[in-house]
């Protein structure tokens, strides 16, 4: 226990998911989730587009903050709503249902790493790597290929590599931004009565920097291997 908050060592327990599901009955949590959804949708309109279907956004900061507060069950529902409304209000092309899975996966990753647990720089780094590499590259690549083929009648090969490079380059930068963002916002959330961990472990160490470098190298090596086999 920490400040009367039940914390879990990992999300692989029945009690953890029971707690996460109970957030659906918490009015305060649902109001906060609605606010996070609204912010995520608004931030979709201010993304910096560097090419077709290739953009830079700070939406992930709001996504992480929300998932930390309301957990994986509400995060999945919130991601579905955010993706659907965002596509309708700020369309960047034909609506394609499969994009909802990358939105859900990204929110779920943050929730599994941050909800009702001791948050550390290591967890922040791992959450960004899982999102940038496994969600934005591994999962989204075949979805983007299907989108271009089914909706646009084109091939996605030209934009595939730039998107991979963007995610690898931004990974360490976004990890740093997320650490600073959570350090700034967690105390405010605690003062408002939201049940989150503290910021005692949100300080970079040499091991964290080494982890950033190693994970970046792993990502680059994996992408290089993918490109060379094509």
Closest CA to 167 of 207, 204, 130, 123: 130
Tokens of 120: 């550390």
DSSP secondary-structure letter at 2? B
Q: Note whether 111 and 67 are within 8 A (CB).
A: yes
* The CATH number fitting domain 14-229, selected from 1.25.40.10, 3.40.50.2000, 3.30.470.20, 1.10.1760.20: 1.10.1760.20
* pLDDT tens-digit readout, 95-144: 899 999 999 999 999 999 999 999 999 999 999 999 999 999 999 989 98
pTM: predicted TM-score of the whole model, two decimal places? 0.90
Q: What is the predicted pLDDT for the residue at 151?
A: 84
The number of residues in the chain equals 230
Q: What is the predicted pLDDT for the residue at 44?
A: 78
Q: What is the predicted pLDDT for the residue at 17?
A: 97
Residues in the chain with pLDDT < 50? 1-2
Location of structure tokens 């989204």: 140
């Amino acid at each position: 226990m920490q400040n009367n908050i039940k914390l879990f060592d990992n999300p692989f327990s029945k009690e953890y998911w029971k707690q996460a599901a109970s957030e659906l009955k918490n009015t305060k949590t649902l109001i906060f989730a609605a606010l996070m959804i609204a912010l995520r949708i608004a931030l979709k309109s201010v993304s910096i587009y560097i090419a077709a279907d290739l953009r830079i956004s700070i939406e992930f900061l709001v996504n992480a903050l929300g998932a930390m507060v309301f957990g994986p069950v509400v995060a999945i529902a919130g991601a579905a709503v955010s993706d659907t409304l965002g596509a309708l209000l700020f369309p960047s092309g034909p609506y394609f249902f499969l994009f909802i899975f990358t939105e859900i996966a990204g929110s779920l990753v943050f929730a599994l790493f941050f909800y009702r647990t001791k948050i550390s720089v290591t967890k922040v780094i791992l959450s960004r790597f899982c999102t940038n590499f496994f969600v934005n590259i591994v999962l989204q690549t075949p979805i983007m290929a299907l989108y271009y083929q089914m909706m646009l009648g084109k091939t996605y090969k030209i934009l595939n590599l730039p998107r991979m490079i963007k995610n690898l380059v931004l990974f360490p930068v976004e990890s740093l931004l997320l650490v600073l963002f959570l350090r700034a916002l967690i105390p405010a959330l605690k003062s408002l009565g939201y049940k989150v961990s503290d910021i005692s472990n949100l300080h970079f160490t040499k091991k964290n920097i080494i982890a950033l470098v190693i994970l970046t190298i792993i990502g680059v090596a994996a992408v290089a291997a993918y490109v060379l086999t094509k």
